[in-house]
Chain A
């Protein structure tokens, strides 16, 4: 993409940024949940390595394997990696250089931290840098940047997308129980405690819980019955009893 002219598609991101900023400014809602790291980008918050998991889980696991290998003292250069990354756009595989001239730089034990850093940065921002640039610029056309420092990213999402009214009935109806709770289900004392607590929560707390569990505070418009899991299948909210711990479905086990 030529740098000197603004491509058409970037206009739309700038437009959307302005709309989002204006929505916050005018107390309107934006009906679109974005991924967590985008909210962090708006706020200018630090993004950690472990956030990569929510961006691209497979990639994250691969990198972690590399890191363990490195920590165990193995020689990374045996893998014959260089500072490029394979990416797939519209079906075609291309190689992206992580740093200028990356195709010629071999990954060794010495520059391994830099390699991980370059991979991480590329995943977090690389592919969508120009679009994100426009989005942020549009947003800050309306709202001054310092004003956002008071929020954390969860609050930002709540403000932008609205506090959903999370009806407990719908939630309760569509919850499955597994593990220790399978037999008793709803009537297990611990489960009852859970729902009791949840009843005392206000909308914000419920939204935060939902955010924690599912990654977004939005409830599907058709209700909890069609809550989706990672792979797109419908997977209901599951309370899994494991020796007094509750594990949620994306992390089953």
Chain B
């Protein structure tokens, strides 16, 4: 009799891997395969561009794929409406020789983490979803080659070659292309890259083994038959600037420049094919009325200019100055302990729109003059795009100098919209209004976005609205404030995360401002948070609950069945909840009280929460006590440790039986094994019964409190 089980078998045994773990794995694999110089270069460029959430792209597409559910439906479609999973990467055709048929294309695919050999999973191959069966000798993380027929999406066969990437890099100049964010398609209605500006981005797509967590299909299209396309696209993207692929002809006298492109063989409506224009590779989507051999007219987006390498052109050379630097610089200091005052001002800003997308968000460059009185290393606050941000004056800049920094465009756009939505005369006024609203508390403390890493930080404004830097210093009765800081650490048990708690001066506390969803993409950014914070209570709650729904693990991926005995409510619940991983916690829970009829349609869950909370807050349990100042509120009992855990065990037992000790031991042992066949192998200490059991049983008679 199990207390709970994960009803999705595929997930049941897997540990939740942290996202960084996945990232490291795929990174390691990339390194293993070695890269061409081009790849190296691109990787280096990538790290120079600091961007929000730049690490997300590498996470494996594991969680977003619905594993084959227990109910045997083999046609499980991808549960989430967004990314259906890993993108299959096209392989250079000619080298492999696998491109025999006219209509076959070869892809490379990485086996997701929760797939066992023999199981099926789905990937995007070009614009189609195909099902792939993991071969017997493959494991998660390995790459497979699959051959996909070009014109239908039925089950395909795999080349069960677990070849590493090395051999295929030769023909793989296809991989190393920059994908411009905008789909340079014609009027073709079907843009496979999603329309939002956060579509594919250059730097990540260069690394061919990465999984693209794009909205729609991958940015890497199927390679066509070797004949012409390899030839044309065989050139590296870093080739001479004047190179165009065959079939591309410039339309003279067109401004902006337009090109006539012939649609290659095998491309149907809606499919994408690559072309090179002036050394720049673009994706073109075949419009609905076009056929292979026809010519279509396209207008590519403006090319990237060097101008847009913002980070390198900053005023200061030491790691980026006022711009958002890569993590190596020293600009990520905390605000506290700076001398000198600084004034807040609405800066005169210059915006420079960036052509090149860094990551999924467009960023805006702001240029600002350092105000008077700000010393190097001091922070100052300003309004950038309507949002208050905290900028630290770089070490080698001073008052009067201009520095630059980047902010994601989404933020400034969002706040602009908010400003516009109010009846407005003066844009400046509304920034002021927003200023006020960003404050939580009238005591002068407010959370501000820190420009260096876009995290939230508390800073204090004094009565005149000036930034008060002394508030982080020695204790002052009316000014000092302290915030708890919780630093997360990994515990021994992978299901459980540990942490260290401390109380620090408020200016030292920092919290992330970004939330990632299960598949690694950004779910919430700090601009979303700032906006949500400004809403009224009802709207805010609604937004919060909507976000939680998005974080909730899909039903198809598994849900938790919690079987609780009413007579042992608390102890069974503690057992059940404490053995869940973090991912399990976000699944849907279905409760069942053992021995009772009834399906949980919400009512049982509500009842469970009520009973459990009632039980835990019960003063008799000794965990919580009434507050000294307010009888209605509870606070943690500092003496909670002096009670033993047996009180939970016996809370609902009406009496203690006078049983001889050996018998009781055996009795509990057997009960134990029946319920938790697996526990002896799990070494974690959380299990109250287990720890009880490890005690010297002589003690329990004397310490046990019998609670009726």
Contacts and interface: CB of A to CB of B under 8 A. Distances in A.
B537 A155 contact: yes
A246 B540 CA distance: 31
Given A35-B634, A90-B639, A49 B478 contact: yes
B480 interface: yes
Contacts, number: 264
Which 9 A-B pairs give the minimum distances between C-beta atoms?
A46-B481, A127-B638, A32-B617, A8-B645, A133-B501, A117-B475, A113-B475, A215-B630, A128-B636
Nearest to A63: B477
Interface string B557-587: 0000000000000000110011010100110
A36 interface: yes
B545 A27 contact: yes
Contact of B630 (A67, A151, A214): A214
A116 interface: yes
A34 B541 contact: no
B532 interface: yes
A27 to B, nearest CB: 6
Nearest to A46: B481
A132 interface: yes
Interface in A22-78: 22-36, 38, 41, 44-49, 53-57, 67
Given A22-B585, A46-B445, A90-B639, A158 B537 contact: yes
Given A19-B577, A47-B482, A150-B529, A7 B585 contact: no
A117 B500 CA distance: 20
B609 interface: yes
A44 B645 contact: no
Given A19-B613, A26-B605, A228-B631, A44 B511 contact: yes
Interface in A9-26: 9-16, 18-19, 21-26
Contacts of A10: 641
Contacts of A33: 632-634
B456 interface: yes
Contact of A46 (B482, B532, B538, B540): B482
B503 A124 contact: yes
Interface in A196-253: 204, 214-216, 218, 220, 228-230, 232
Interface in B230-247: none
B291 to A, nearest CB: 49
B514 A146 contact: yes
Nearest to A139: B486
B423 interface: no
Interface residues of B, number: 97
B540 A45 contact: no
B458 interface: yes
Interface string B532-554: 11000110110111011001100
Contact of A9 (B483, B582, B623): B623
Identify the interface centre among A26, A28, A151, A204: most chain B CB within 10 Å of its CB: A26
B345 interface: no
A46 B504 CA distance: 9
Nearest to B534: A150
Contact of B589 (A8, A15, A22): A22
B627 interface: yes
Interface of A: 1, 5-16, 18-19, 21-36, 38, 41, 44-49, 53-57, 67, 87, 89-90, 113-114, 116-117, 120-121, 124-125, 127-129, 131-133, 135-137, 140-147, 149-152, 155, 158-159, 204, 214-216, 218, 220, 228-230, 232
A204 B548 CA distance: 22
B500 A67 contact: no
A32 B623 CA distance: 12
Contact of B483 (A18, A44, A216, A232): A44
B509 interface: yes
A44 B631 CA distance: 24
A147 B509 CA distance: 16
Contacts of A137: 486, 488, 497-499
Interface string B645-663: 1001000000000000000
Interface centre among A12, A55, A151, A230 (most CB of B within 10 A): A12
Contacts of B498: 137
A14 to B, nearest CB: 7
Contacts of A16: 613, 616, 623
Nearest to A208: B537
Interface string B501-528: 1010010010111110000000010100
B443 interface: yes
Contacts of A11: 574, 578, 645, 686, 688
Nearest to B473: A113
Given A11-B578, A13-B623, A136-B484, A32 B616 contact: yes
B351 interface: no
Contacts of A13: 623, 636, 640
Given A32-B617, A56-B628, A150 B544 contact: yes
Chain A contact residues, majority secondary structure: helix
B512 A146 contact: yes
B227 interface: no
A110 B497 CA distance: 41
Nearest to B440: A152
21 contacts: A6-B686, A12-B616, A12-B623, A13-B640, A15-B616, A16-B623, A22-B585, A23-B613, A25-B548, A25-B551, A44-B484, A48-B480, A67-B477, A87-B638, A116-B477, A131-B623, A131-B638, A132-B484, A137-B499, A146-B514, A150-B529
A87 B638 CA distance: 10
A15 B458 contact: no
A113 B622 CA distance: 35
B529 A149 contact: yes
A34 B474 contact: no
Contacts of A124: 482, 503
Contact of A18 (B478, B552, B577, B636): B577
Interface in B442-483: 443, 445, 447, 456, 458, 474-478, 480-483
Contact of A55 (B580, B616, B629): B629
Contacts of A30: 609, 613
Contacts of B482: 46-47, 120-121, 124
A208 to B, nearest CB: 9
B685 interface: yes
A146 B641 CA distance: 31
A117 to B, nearest CB: 4
Contacts of B616: 12, 15-16, 19, 32
B533 A19 contact: no
A252 B288 CA distance: 79
Given A30-B613, A113-B475, A150-B529, A7 B641 contact: yes
A216 to B, nearest CB: 4
A113 B476 CA distance: 7
Nearest to A90: B639
Given A11-B686, A215-B632, A117 B509 contact: no
Nearest to B627: A35
Contacts of B445: 46
Given A9-B640, A31-B614, A149-B456, A48 B515 contact: no
A112 B686 CA distance: 42
A46 B606 CA distance: 33
B315 to A, nearest CB: 32
A134 to B, nearest CB: 9
